[in-house]
Homo-oligomer: A and B are copies of this chain.
């Protein structure tokens, strides 16, 4: 498999973690979002959606990080990341979407670019925007976590951790005060003791600058 990735892409970071947790051998192909390489003809031929990540498999190219995560789960059930009965799976997915639908899309690079370039929003207001959506989202997620658990759901990493950790990484870049979210901060710390998370971190990617 080939993963098309950019070191700071939060969605690519999710897939990097899952591939590592599942020990799936893969090649990393870097695509520079800042240089808009995801809009190049070469990349669009792979992923017409023009977004990261994409996973090239024997069957073809898969897009959308969450679709990739669910597909990996179905085709590589070893080290399951979506565990338990239907109810627990719903709790795991609830947390995934609380990040992947309610926070990340609004704070994505392309949205921040639109704010600056098309609406003339200055750097300070852009940072306020970024923090606002992270904080609203983290307030919800903090309520959903149980401090008796080591990870988001239970005592092993699940897709919820796979989605949450990249969002916390980004929040820290934007200097969000994580002391307000002790349960999220504890999960983040716990995950980052594991090689699968460490090796997937932006600063440990070949294209890190």
Which residues of A are in contact with B by a Cβ distance under 8 Å?
48-51, 59-60, 62-64, 66-68, 70-71, 74-75, 86-87, 89-91, 93-94, 96-98, 100-102, 104-106, 111, 114-115, 118-119, 121, 125, 128-129, 132, 140, 143-144
Contacts and interface: CB of A to CB of B under 8 A. Distances in A.
A90 B60 CA distance: 11
Given A106-B106, A118-B132, 7 more contacts: A66-B93, A70-B89, A71-B89, A71-B90, A74-B86, A115-B119, A118-B128
Nearest to A59: B87
A90 B75 CA distance: 11
Contact of A48 (B49, B104, B114, B140): B140
A62 B53 CA distance: 29
A114 B129 contact: yes
A101 B101 contact: yes
